[in-house]
Amino acid sequence: LTTSDVSVRQRRVWRQSALPLVLLVLVAVLPFIAISKFTVTLLTEAMIFAIWAMSLDILVGFVGLISFGHAAAFGLAGYAAGYFAKEITNDFLLALAVAELVVALIAAALGYIVVRVSGIAFAVISLCIAQVFFTIAVVWRQITDGMDGMVGVPLPKLVGLTVGPGYALYLLTAISLCAVYIVLARFLDSPFGRTLQAIRTNEVRAASIGINVHLHKWIAFVISWAVAGLAGTLMVFLKAGTTPMSLHWTESGNVLIMVIFGGIGTLFGPIIGSAVFVFARDEFTSRFQAWQFVFGLVFVIVVLVFPRGLAGAISRIRIPTWRTHS
Amino acid sequence: MAEALGINTQSLLTVVFGVAAGLAAFAGALGAPIFAVHPDMGTGILLDSFLAVILGGLGNLPGTAIGALFVALVKSIGGGYVAEWSTAVLFAIVGFTLILRPTGLFGSGREA
């Protein structure tokens, strides 16, 4: 590395973390200035979905594996964290650690096998996995309470303090989102992340220059599930419970919509996509009886007009200097 | 490629889409007296038919028919023996099959 390389790299690191940090401060002070309590809850939900959508985008946008069962990681972590918080202790970090351990172990076991296939076969296998977990959640009543769902998950405690509903949980989610964004941006910009993108572009060529394609895909799969696990953990504390519907394939479809809506292959896209999704859904459900019809129509139009999603539409109107790749 | 040979792909794709939708409508009309008719009746069958197509192998009509038969049999026989687990059993079988044969049971080389 030459000195100029280092300074270019430092500038990029700075740029990648500066914007999210500024946005974090903005989001943190927002409830004191403008928005209502209800909007705070909606924003919390949107930010949790954003973490989840980013984790899916690692697979879809950066590895080229279209997962149609990403609810599996989300719902699984929700059940693991919720059960742990209910039965043992409501310490947030401990519950998160347990959920991540469960999700990572299962992802490592499943991922080792499933990343061998790609395309529609991968989409269907991931769907099958999620549906098997869904059925387990419905049938295994001793742990999950079946279709009634797990209720009465206590509020989490962080370093001895209870993270209250509303602003405290909102801030915790905002900090998590910001941290996940910066870490993932650094991760995808690293040699490992670049290798993933090489695999997405041309798997055969990547393999022929000596890249261990299977190992890279496997690690990316586990990381993707682990990030989704963080989202699932936050969600179970926000909702104070979870139901088998968090594992259902319609949820996998929703998160895929958020990613496509926002822009595949960017980290910023899924954040925009999930924010638009949550607020549009709230708006449409209160205005129209057949809200899915309006929602679907808007989705189809956006995808037809902006094939690269909302982030693609925004990057087109950016000033040119922003798009240079150093 | 097909366009270069003078085929009107636009209208061809439209007709194919129309015929496919027509076939689905025919199946829906046949199924109406057996299943309950409700606005959400397409959701369940959507997943089942998707599994049948993938299991049989993309672009293989006899394979799809056999796949559909298999899906239906697993659901009904499984429903009799393991009740609520029958869908999980079906998904597990399809998942394992695809890991062993990513092109489906009767797929012709083309990765599904």
* DSSP letter for each residue of A144-182: H-GGG-EE-PPPPEETTEE--TTHHHHHHHHHHHHHHHH
For residue range B23-42, list pLDDT tens digits in order. 999 988 888 888 778 877 77
pLDDT above 70 as % of chain A: 94
When pLDDT is cut at 50, 70 and 90, the band that residue A3 belongs to is low
The verdict on a CB contact (< 8 Å) between B103 and A121 is yes
Query: What is the pLDDT, as a whole number, of residue B108?
Result: 67
For residue range A94-113, list pLDDT tens digits in order. 999 999 999 999 999 999 98
Task: Give the integer Cα–Cα distance in Å for A177 and A80.
Answer: 21
A63-77, A172-186, B39-53: segment of lowest average pLDDT: B39-53
- Closest by CA to B47, choosing from A262, A135, A289, is A135
Contacts of B84 in chain A (CB under 8 A): 135, 138-139
When pLDDT is cut at 50, 70 and 90, the band that residue A2 belongs to is low
Q: Which two tokens stand for residue A133?
A: 């977990």
Query: What is the pLDDT, as a whole number, of residue A224?
Result: 95
Using the Cβ of A114 and the Cβ atoms of chain B, whether some distance falls under 8 Å is answered with: yes
pLDDT exceeds 90 at position B112: no
Using the Cβ of B92 and the Cβ atoms of chain A, whether some distance falls under 8 Å is answered with: yes
Contacts of B109 in chain A (CB under 8 A): none
The verdict on a CB contact (< 8 Å) between A118 and B111 is yes
Task: Give the integer Cα–Cα distance in Å for A315 and A311.
Answer: 6
Query: What is the pLDDT, as a whole number, of residue A162?
Result: 80
For residue range A5-19, list pLDDT tens digits in order. 667 777 777 777 777
The verdict on a CB contact (< 8 Å) between A131 and B50 is no
Q: Give one DSSP letter per residue of A223-290, joined into a string.
A: HHHHHHHHHHHHHHHHHTEE-GGGGSHHHHHHHHHHHHHH-TT-SHHHHHHHHHHHHHHHHHHHH-TT
The verdict on a CB contact (< 8 Å) between A135 and B88 is yes
Task: Work out the minimum CA distance from A68 to partner chain B, whole angstroms.
Answer: 12
Cα-based distances in Å from A153 to A74, A89, A208, A243: 16, 10, 50, 12
Name the pTM for this structure. Answer: 0.83
ipTM reported for the complex surpasses 0.90: no
- End-to-end, the C-alpha distance of chain A in Å comes to 14
Query: Which neighbouring-strand residues pair with A317?
Result: none
Point out the residue among B58, B94, B103 whose CB comes nearest to the CB of A128.
B94
Task: Work out the minimum CA distance from A48 to partner chain B, whole angstroms.
Answer: 27
pLDDT exceeds 80 at position A49: yes
Structural contact between residues A169 and A163, judged by C-beta atoms closer than 8 angstroms: yes
pLDDT above 70 as % of chain B: 96
A101-105, B65-69, B79-83: segment of lowest average pLDDT: B79-83
DSSP code, position B3: G
The verdict on a CB contact (< 8 Å) between A135 and B91 is yes
The verdict on a CB contact (< 8 Å) between B84 and A131 is no
Q: Torsion angle, CA of B80/B85/B89/B90, rounded to 10 degrees?
A: 70
Contacts of B85 in chain A (CB under 8 A): 135, 139
Look-up of token digits 């104070």? A240
Find, in chain A, the residue whose alpha carbon is nearest to that of B43: A250
pLDDT exceeds 70 at position A249: yes
Task: Tell me the HSE value of A322 on the side-chain side, using a 13 A CA sphere.
Answer: 8
The verdict on a CB contact (< 8 Å) between B102 and A121 is yes
Contacts of B103 in chain A (CB under 8 A): 121
For residue range A270-281, list pLDDT tens digits in order. 999 999 999 988
- Closest by CA to B104, choosing from B42, B50, B23, B44, is B50
Point out the residue among A124, A132, A135 whose CB comes nearest to the CB of B98.
A124
The chain-wide mean pLDDT, for chain B, equals 84
Which residues in A50-184 belong to E strands, given as ranges? 150-151, 157-158, 161-162
The verdict on a CB contact (< 8 Å) between A132 and B58 is no
Residue A53 contacts by C-beta under 8 Å, 6 or more apart in sequence?
Answer: A255, A258, A259, A262, A270, A271, A273, A274
Contacts of A136 in chain B (CB under 8 A): 88
Residue A56 contacts by C-beta under 8 Å, 6 or more apart in sequence?
Answer: A67, A70, A224, A228, A255, A256, A259, A270
The verdict on a CB contact (< 8 Å) between A138 and B50 is no
Q: Torsion angle, CA of B11/B15/B17/B19, rounded to 10 degrees?
A: 180
Q: Torsion angle, CA of A124/A128/A131/A135, rounded to 10 degrees?
A: 160
User: Average of pLDDT values for A165-191?
Assistant: 90
| Cβ contacts from A onto B, under 8 A | 60
Residue of A252 and A24 predicted with greater confidence: A252
Using the Cβ of B24 and the Cβ atoms of chain A, whether some distance falls under 8 Å is answered with: no
Restricting to B residues 43-62, those with a Cβ less than 8 Å away from any Cβ of A are 47, 50-51, 54, 58
User: Average of pLDDT values for A117-128?
Assistant: 86
The verdict on a CB contact (< 8 Å) between B47 and A120 is no
Query: What is the pLDDT, as a whole number, of residue A324?
Result: 47
User: Average of pLDDT values for A14-34?
Assistant: 78
Task: Give the integer Cα–Cα distance in Å for B91 and A266.
Answer: 32
User: Average of pLDDT values for B41-67?
Assistant: 84
Cα-based distances in Å from A66 to A116, A123, A209, A247, B3: 13, 6, 25, 17, 29
When pLDDT is cut at 50, 70 and 90, the band that residue A326 belongs to is very low
The chain-wide mean pLDDT, for chain A, equals 86
Long-range (24+ apart) CB contacts under 8 A made by B66-75 are B66/B105, B66/B106, B67/B104, B67/B105, B72/B48, B75/B48
